[in-house]
């Protein structure tokens, strides 16, 4: 951090807090006390109204703030919530940058705006599922994947599939060219990559990736590939129908299953249709509704559900 950046950081820190001691400023900026004393003097000489109170610390004169940008309360809340989201969902590098950005945003807000922003922030909380897993495997993987994308390097990893292959295996090794990352509220972080094994673009849930390494092999993202405009091919060609107890229709809707296509009341039942790549993708979800659901088609899936129920009965 050069002197100009340091002087700006001191002003922003004093804007953010009513009072800061020289020791606190030195610790925050990672410099000596003597440097802080010199910087504060330089700021005072340049016209910044810094007050020094013996035994208490430094503060800015009431009403003074540095306004490189002005924000409304709503704008400030939006930016700070965005920084909070990044701190919770990204890898350590972006998390540190988000933390730094949040402190800078808070520093340039006038006191009334900052206090109102903090009040509103206190009434909003971003929740995340599987927080422990997200903090470990997913965040570590995100950092490695970002590094590989920046360097144009392929990655090698073990992938743990939710649905087993035809041979019963759920674990595969993949070498891919990472094209981009996307975040989905239901699935979390997804890696979009060209898979050498499948010779096509595939999607991988980042939390299901393990033993991730960056290889020495390079790749180039095709010029025609645009992550923002990319739409995956819909390969869900199998139709599954089920009748739910009408009393739990609202719960079925709230579950917002990715494969759900239509839903309507028929008599005293709630008729729902799904489109899937393979019925196994719905098995655990259907079983979770217990006696409140009956699969009507296809017949092969009805038999599969019945077989799973028989296995469950044996265990009990």
Question: What CATH number matches the domain at 3-60, 3.40.50.80, 3.65.10.10, 3.20.20.100, 1.10.10.10?
Answer: 1.10.10.10
Q: Residue 132's pLDDT is what?
A: 46
Share of the chain above pLDDT 70, in %: 91
Token pair recorded at residue 309: 């129920």
pLDDT digits (tens, 9 = 90+) for 36-95: 999 999 988 888 888 888 888 998 887 665 555 567 888 888 888 888 888 877 777 888
Mean pLDDT confidence for 275-301: 93
Beta strands in 127-268 (DSSP E): 153-160, 171-184, 188-195, 200-205, 209-218, 238-245, 260-266
Q: How far is CA 294 from CA 28, 41, 242, 246, in A?
A: 62, 77, 6, 12
CA dihedral (239, 240, 246, 250) in degrees, to 10, reads -70
CATH number, span 132-218: 2.30.30
Mean residue pLDDT of the chain comes to 86
Mean pLDDT is lowest, of 46-50, 140-144, 166-170, 174-178, for 166-170
Res. 258 pLDDT band, cuts 50 70 90 = confident
Which region, left, alpha or beta, applies to residue 52 given φ > 0 means left and ψ of -120 to 50 means alpha? beta
Residue 202 pLDDT: 92
When pLDDT is cut at 50, 70 and 90, the band that residue 133 belongs to is: very low
Whether 189 shows a pLDDT value over 80: the answer reads yes
Over residues 284-311, mean pLDDT: 94
Q: Is the pLDDT of residue 26 over 50?
A: yes
CATH of domain 238-315: 3.30.70
CA separation for the pair 143, 80 (Å, rounded): 22
90-102 mean pLDDT: 82
**202-217 per-position pLDDT tens digit:** 999 998 999 999 999 9
> What pLDDT does residue 128 have?
61
When pLDDT is averaged across residues 269-287 and rounded to a whole number, the result is 93
For 104-125, the pLDDT digits (tens) are 888 778 788 888 888 887 777 7
pLDDT band at 168 (very low <50, low <70, confident <90, very high): low
pTM of the model: 0.57
3-state helix, strand, coil in the chain (%, to 5): 45, 25, 30
Find the mean pLDDT for residues 173-183. Answer: 93
């Amino acid at each position: 951090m050069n002197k100009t950046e340091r002087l700006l950081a001191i002003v922003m820190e004093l804007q953010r807090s009513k009072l800061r001691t020289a020791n606190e400023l030195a610790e925050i900026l990672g410099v000596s006390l003597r440097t802080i004393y010199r910087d504060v003097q330089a700021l005072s000489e340049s016209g910044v109204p810094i007050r020094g109170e013996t035994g208490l610390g430094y503060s800015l004169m009431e009403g003074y703030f540095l306004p490189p940008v002005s924000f409304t309360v709503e704008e400030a809340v939006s930016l700070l919530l965005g920084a909070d989201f990044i701190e919770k969902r990204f890898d350590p590098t972006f998390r540190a940058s988000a933390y730094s950005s949040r402190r800078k945003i808070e520093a340039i807000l006038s006191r009334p705006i900052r206090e109102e922003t903090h009040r509103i922030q206190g009434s909003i909380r971003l929740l995340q599922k599987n927080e422990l897993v997200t903090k470990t495997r997913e965040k570590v993987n995100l950092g490695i994947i970002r590094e590989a994308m920046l360097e144009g390097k392929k990655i090698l990893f073990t992938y743990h599939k939710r649905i087993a292959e035809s041979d019963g295996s759920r674990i595969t090794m993949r070498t891919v060219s990472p094209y981009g990352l996307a975040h989905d509220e239901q699935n979390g972080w997804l890696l979009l990559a060209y898979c050498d094994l499948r010779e096509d673009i595939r999607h991988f849930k980042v939390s299901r990736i393990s033993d991730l390494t960056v290889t020495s092999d390079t790749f180039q993202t095709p010029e025609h590939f645009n992550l923002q405009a990319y739409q995956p091919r819909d390969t869900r060609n199998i139709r599954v129908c089920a009748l739910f107890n009408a009393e739990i229709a609202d719960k079925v809707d709230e579950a917002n299953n990715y494969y759900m296509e239509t839903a309507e009341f028929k008599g005293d039942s709630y008729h729902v249709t799904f489109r899937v790549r393979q019925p196994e993708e719905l098995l655990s979800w259907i079983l979770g509704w217990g006696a409140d659901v009956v699969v009507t088609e296809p017949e092969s899936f009805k038999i599969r559900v019945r077989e799973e129920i028989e296995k469950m009965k044996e265990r009990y």
